[in-house]
Structure formats: structure tokens, C-alpha cells
Amino acid sequence: MAIYSFWIFDKHCNCIFDREWTLISNSASGTMNSKQTEETAKLLYGMIYSLRSVTKKLSRDDSTNEVRSISIGKYRIHTYCTASGLWFVLLSDYKQSSYAHVLRYIHSHIYVKYVTHNILSPYDFAENENETRGRGFRKISNRNFISALESFLGPMIAQ
């Protein structure tokens, strides 16, 4: 049960953090906050957003009907949306049924501790109107956040 990539999107459709692993056997391999993944981030967010819109329209009542996991071929996309509009997305192999608890933990224990409570980190990664709708360029670069995330997800990469 391998993890291939991890993404965080803000409420403006901007990818504010991405991490991809290229070698399953080496958790230090791959890219982080790379310009090469911008197009992939837009496609991934667009697919999740569209599926979320469809489920809301198909839902007969006003209850929340969230997309938590999407299976595509040999991959599974796990999503977690926060009340503030952040999207935590994890791409894994299809064998893993749910990583919801992992995404909740990343948000509540790692993201909140190292990004939200950091007074030097921006509250909103899109500072003006030109940086919305996926055109933002600011990324999370907090070393403590990255280190905590790597140490938490590292053992799960090569499973």
C-alpha cells in the first residue's frame, strides 16, 4: 500500500503544497513544490471539484455528501476538506480503502501546528485578486512542517 503524492489546495483553487515520491523504496526521492506539477495540480483539483459539484446536485437533501475517495485504474485519490476550504489530497495505490484518518491527522496535528500557528506564515496564500482560480504561486515552505510531514508519511510510502 504505497503513497505516491500528497497535495494541499487552498480555498482559491491554488496548490499551496505538493510532494511527489518517484521511488517507492526511497522516501527522500521525488519532488516538492515543483513548477512541473502545476498542470497536474490543476487537473487534480478540477476533477475533485467537479465530482463534488455533481454529488451536491444529485443529493436529494441538504446534508453534506462529500467525495472522500475516488478510484481510477490502479490509483485511489483520498480527499479531506476542512471548514476553512483547504483540501488535503493523497494519491495512493488502489488497495488502500481509506486514508481519511491520515489526512485528518495531517491537518489537525501538523498543518495547524506548523502553518496556522506560525505568525510568519500567511493566513491566505492568495494576497490579491490575480492569485485566485489556480493562478497563485505561494507555497508552504516551512521547514518544520515539511520535516514533520516527511517523518509522518515516510513509513507509509514503502508499505
pLDDT in tens, 9-31: 988 888 889 888 876 555 556 66
Nearest residue to 88 via CA among 109, 62, 58: 109
Please enumerate in sequence order all residues whose Cβ is within 8 A of that of 52, keeping only pairs 6 or more positions apart, or say none.
Answer: 66, 67
With left for phi above 0 and alpha for psi between -120 and 50, is residue 151 left, alpha or beta? alpha
Which is more confidently placed, 127 or 152? 152
Cα 48 → chain centroid: 11
Percent of the chain with pLDDT over 90: 16
Average pLDDT over residues 135-153: 82
* pLDDT tens-digit readout, 70-98: 888 888 999 998 888 889 999 988 887 78
Dihedral angle sign, alpha carbons of residues 36, 40, 45, 46? positive
Rg (CA), the chain: 15
Which is more confidently placed, 123 or 118? 118
* pLDDT tens-digit readout, 29-63: 666 666 667 778 888 888 888 888 888 787 776 66
pTM of the complete model: 0.82
For the chain, how far is it from start to end, CA to CA, in angstroms? 5
With left for phi above 0 and alpha for psi between -120 and 50, is residue 9 left, alpha or beta? beta
pLDDT bracket for residue 153 (50, 70, 90): confident
Q: Answer whether CATH 3.30.450.70 is correct for domain 3-156.
A: yes
Mean pLDDT for the chain overall = 79
